[in-house]
Amino acid sequence: RKEVEQDPGPFNVPEGATVAFNCTYSNSASQSFFWYRQDCRKEPKLLMSVYSSGNEDGRFTAQLNRASQYISLLIRDSKLSDSATYLCVVAIYGNKLVFGAGTILRVKS
């Protein structure tokens, strides 16, 4: 079983739509959680950290459910510029992160 699993997509949505991505992780000792965004042929960039209480950054909302070992990312009012691959990332121990393979989002006009 992969340490971090994501639905690869692609998710094809119209502009203005709300879209949600899910991610599960296998190690119950995981300590920190993140969403990264990766544009085509570019480096990943930190989008937001994910806290147990849930957190919001503009149109983006991240949720963590430790009991179910589940992380989500909700994007409201999708923009064309949101088209990218979204990577779910888990810190298990030490200074190392484990990256999911990513979910592709395509926002169309």
Partner 1 sequence: SQTIHQWPATLVQPVGSPLSLECTVEGTSNPNLYWYRQAAGRGLQLLFYSVGIGQISSEVPQNLSASRPQDRQFILSSKKLLLSDSGFYLCAWTATSRAYEQYFGPGTRLTVT
Residue numbers at the binding site for partner 1 (CB under 8 A):
4, 31-32, 34, 41-46, 49, 87, 91, 95-102
Q: Which one, 14 or 40, has the nearer CB to partner 1?
A: 40
Q: Which one, 10 or 16, has the nearer CB to partner 1?
A: 10
| Shortest Cβ 21–partner 1 spacing (Å) | 15
Q: Which one, 18 or 32, has the nearer CB to partner 1?
A: 32
Paired strand residues for 12: 106
Q: Which residues of 70-106 are buried (b: 16+ CB within 10 A; e: fewer)?
A: ebbbebeebeeebbbbbbbbbebeeeeebbbebbbbe
| Shortest Cβ 101–partner 1 spacing (Å) | 4
Q: Which one, 17 or 44, has the nearer CB to partner 1?
A: 44
| Shortest Cβ 88–partner 1 spacing (Å) | 10
| Shortest Cβ 6–partner 1 spacing (Å) | 9
- Give the SS3 label for residue 96: coil
The dihedral built from the CA positions of residue 10, 42, 62 and 25, taken in this order, carries a sign that is positive
Strands 11-14 and 97-99 turn out to be unpaired
